[in-house]
Amino acid sequence: MNQKQQENNSTSKLLHSVIEGIEEKKGIDIVKIDFTKINYSECKYFVICQGNSTVQAESIAQSVEETVEKKTGETAWHKDGYKNAIWILLDYGDVMVHVFQKDARKFYDLENLWADATIEKIETEN
């Protein structure tokens, strides 16, 4: 396996772990935004979801961190937003995870900011 294939496999495993962590705590409206076809993007993917409360948003973010570390051994390079849990950001380099509360997600509207990217709604059993 060449280096590019290893990177793609690693990113794919990271994405699956992030989504599993979100689903574990019943994250709502999970969306994956693919930036791989866009030049000069900061990362390869955004994963966006929301929780119904401060407690649920924190719980989702913590679940993502725990699941990713358990499944991939990776930890977030940077994390922000736990203090008020309106918008929690977990930066894994190639993948940035955004956990919003409903009003903040609607206000910042990241999905429409990146209309050039490929946006995929993740179907869950929630």
Convert the pLDDT of each residue in 10-20 to its tens digit: 899 999 999 99
Rg of the chain on CA atoms, in Å: 14
Per-residue pLDDT reduced to its tens digit, 91-122: 999 999 999 999 999 999 998 888 788 999 99
Q: CA torsion, points 20, 122, 55, 14, in degrees to nearest 10? A: 40
Task: Give this prediction's pTM.
Answer: 0.91
Number of domains forming the structure of the chain: 1
- Tell me if 67 is assigned to some domain: yes
Question: What single letter denotes the amino acid at residue 6?
Answer: Q
Q: Is residue 38 in some structural domain?
A: yes
Q: Is residue 40 part of a domain?
A: yes
CA–CA separation, 48 and 1 (whole Å):
31
Categorize the per-residue pLDDT at 63 as very low, low, confident or very high, splitting at 50, 70 and 90: very high
Q: 56 is in which domain, residue-wise?
A: 3-121
Q: In this structure, is residue 126 part of a structural domain?
A: no
What does each C-alpha distance from 79 to 37, 58, 83, 96, 98 come to in angstroms?
A: 26, 12, 11, 10, 10
User: Which CATH number do you get for residue 7?
Assistant: 3.30.460.10
| CA-wise closest residue to 106 among 22, 28, 15, 24 | 28
